[in-house]
Amino acid sequence: MFITQYIKEVFTGVKSLLIGMRRTGYYFTHHKEIITQQYPNEIPVMAERFKGEVIMLHDQNNEHACTGCTACELACPNATIKIVTKFDITPEGKKKKAIDKFVYHLELCTLCNLCIEACPTGAIKMGQNFEHSVFNRAELTKVLNKPGSKVRDDVE
Amino acid sequence: MLEEIAVNDTGDLIINVGPQHPSTHGVLHLIITLNGETIKNIDPNLGYIHRSIEKMCESLSYRQFIYVTSRMDYLSSHINNHACALTVEKGLQIEVPERAQYIRVIMDELTRLASHQLWWGAAAMDVGALTPFFHAFREREMINEIMEETCGARLTMNYNVPGGVMADIHPDFQRKTKAFLAFFKDKLPEYDELVTGNIIFQNRMKDIGIISKEDAISYGCSGPTARASGVSCDIRKTHPYSIYDKVQFDEVLETTGDSFGRYLVRMQEMRQSIHIIEQLIDNIPEGDFQAKTKAVLKLPKGEFYTRVETARGELGVYIVSEGGLTPYRIKFRSPGFSNLSALNHMAKGQKIGDMVAIMATLDLVIPDIDR
C-alpha cells in the first residue's frame, strides 16, 4: 500500500514537471516574442497623456496663456510651483499684473496632475520627457516661461 | 574577528532577516528566534519606511490628499485613491456619474489583476522558480500600458478625484483592454501548467502556514489571506460600493487555510476580475466622467468611514472633519498590517525555509504596513 502510494507520487511528480518543461520548451523554440526594449538604443514613444514634467505652452510669437492667477500654486500639494508676478504698463498707461517668473521645482513634483486640472486658461500641460537625471540638483529648478515671453492678448 | 552569535538564555538562536533582504519584499525587519531550524518566534520590526502619510494628509486639502495614498500600497494605488474619493464623496454627498463609476471599477479590477500578476511572479521566485517572474511581467506590462495611456502614469496614477475621474478614457482604452483580456485568458492556463501543478511548488506550499478560520478573524486578516481560511470577507460582496452590486462575480473561498489555499484564492480571483471587466467593458454608459463640484471642498463636521477591497484585503479610510479645509484626523486601516501580525502565528513551529513561502503568499507590501 505504501509502495504503490510512493510510486504514484513519483509518477505524478514527474508528470507535473514534464508539463512545466513542455511550456519551457515551447518558449525555447518559439523565441520570436521579444518583450524587452533595448532602452538607450531605442527610445520609447510615451503616451500622449504621460505625466513627465510640467511645461508651459508658448506659441510662435513667444506668447503664453498664463495670467499669474496662482491657481496651480494653490492646488499643488508639495509647493512645487512658485509664481513671481510683476506689473506691466499697458499702452494706455495702466498697470497690469503679469508673471515675471513661473518657477517649477521638478525635484519636489510628484506628477499628480492637479495643477493642470486647476489652470483656468490651459497655460500649462504635462510634457512627455522622462529623462530627468542631472548632475547638479539646482538644474531641476526650472523657470517655465521663456525669456521675453508675454501673456497672449485674448487671455483674460 | 568573528561576530558573536546572538543566543538567548534558553540557548535559542536569534537571527535578523532584513531590513534589506530580498525575500521580505521591502524594508521589513524580522527578528526570528530559532531552535535549530524550527521557528519559535517571529518579531516583526516596523518603521523603516514610515513616511507619516496620515499626518501629512492633515495638512492637505480634500483634493490634494488623494495622491499621497498612491504611495501606501503602490501595487493597488488606484483602489486606494478610489477609497479616499469615496470617503470625500460620502461626506459631501456628491452623486458620481455612472460613467465615472464604471471606469473606476474597470480600473480597480485591472489594478487587482496587475497586482496579483506581480504577486504570482514574486511568490514563485521566493520558492525558487525564476522564470514565472518574467511571464508575469509580460502580462503586467500590458496593463501598465493601458494605465499609462488613460491615466498618464503606470503605478501612481492619481486618476480619481472627488466626484469622478480626472479625465475621460482614452479612445483606445476599450479596444486595448479587450485585447489584453483575450491574451491573458490564453496565458492563465500557462500559469497553472508552470507553477500550480508543479510538484516542487505544491510540496513547498501545502500544509505550510496554516491559520484557522477563528484565528484569521481574531488577527483581523482580510483579503485572500482570510478567504483561504474560509472567512467570507470580500467587501465587494458584503458591503458593495460603487457598482459592484450590479456585476456578477463569485467570492472565492478556500477552507484549507494554508499557503497553497492562499495561492489558489488569488489565482481564482484573477479569473473573477477578468469576468467583472468583461461584463463592464462594452457597457460603459455615455455621460460625464466627473460631477460638478465646488472649487473648494469642505467636509461637514463629523466622522466618515469607507472601506474597499484592495488586492491585499480591506482598506478603511477614516476621516474626522472639523468643517475646515483640511481633515482634522485621517486614519487608514491597511490590510498588510493585520495580515503581517498573523505571520508569527502561521510560522511558529515551521522551518525557516517555509517562512519565506508563507511571507510570499501573504503578499506583503511594506509601504502599506508602515505608511
pLDDT in tens, A127-144: 888 888 889 888 888 888
β-bridge pairing B13-17 and B38-45: unpaired
Same domain, A20 and A68: no
- Cell 568573528 locates to B2
Whether residue A19 is contained in a domain is answered as yes
Which CATH architecture is the domain B50-370 placed in? Orthogonal Bundle (1.10)
Mean pLDDT, range A116-126, rounded to an integer: 86
Same domain, A141 and A110: yes
Closest CA to B251 of B233, B264, B226, B277: B233
Nearest by CB to residue A77, choosing from B64, B170, B202, is B64
Whether residue A77 is contained in a domain is answered as yes
Chain B residues in contact with A19 by the CB 8 A cut-off are 193, 197
Sequence-distant (≥ 6) Cβ neighbours of residue B279 within 8 angstroms: B247, B248
Amino acid at A111: L
Cα nearest neighbour of A19 on chain B: B193
For position A118, which CATH number holds? Answer: 3.30.70.3270
| Number of alpha helices (DSSP H) and beta strands (DSSP E) in chain A | 3, 7
CA distance B243 to B96: 11
Same domain, A77 and A142: yes
List the single best residue of B53, B64, B325 to mutate versus A (max A Cβ within 10 A).
Answer: B64
Chain A residues in contact with B148 by the CB 8 A cut-off are 46-47, 49-50
Q: So what's the pLDDT on residue A135?
A: 92
Domain count, chain A: 2
Whether residue A41 is contained in a domain is answered as no
Whether residue A44 is contained in a domain is answered as no
Find the angle CA(B82)-CA(B84)-CA(B85) to the nearest 5 degrees: 65
Whether residue A46 is contained in a domain is answered as no
Same domain, A100 and A31: no
pLDDT in tens, B72-123: 888 888 899 999 999 998 888 888 888 888 999 999 999 999 999 999 988 8
Chain A residues in contact with B197 by the CB 8 A cut-off are 16, 19-20
Sequence-distant (≥ 6) Cβ neighbours of residue B135 within 8 angstroms: B121, B187, B190, B191, B194
Same domain, A112 and A138: yes
Same domain, A68 and A142: yes
Sheet containing strand B314-321, strands side by side: B302-309, B314-321, B329-333
Whether residue A40 is contained in a domain is answered as no
Q: How far is B246 from chain A (nearest CA, A)?
A: 31
Same domain, A77 and A109: yes
Bridge-partner residues for B332, per DSSP? B317
Q: Do B199 and A13 touch (CB under 8 A)?
A: yes
pLDDT in tens, B187-198: 888 888 888 888
pLDDT above 70 covers a percentage of chain B that reads 97
Domain residues for A9? Answer: 1-35
> With contact defined as beta carbons under 8 Å apart, do B306 and B299 qualify?
no
What is the CB-side half-sphere exposure of residue B279 using CA atoms within 13 A? Answer: 15
> With contact defined as beta carbons under 8 Å apart, do B273 and B146 qualify?
no
Mean pLDDT check: name the lowest of A86-100, B252-266, B357-371: A86-100
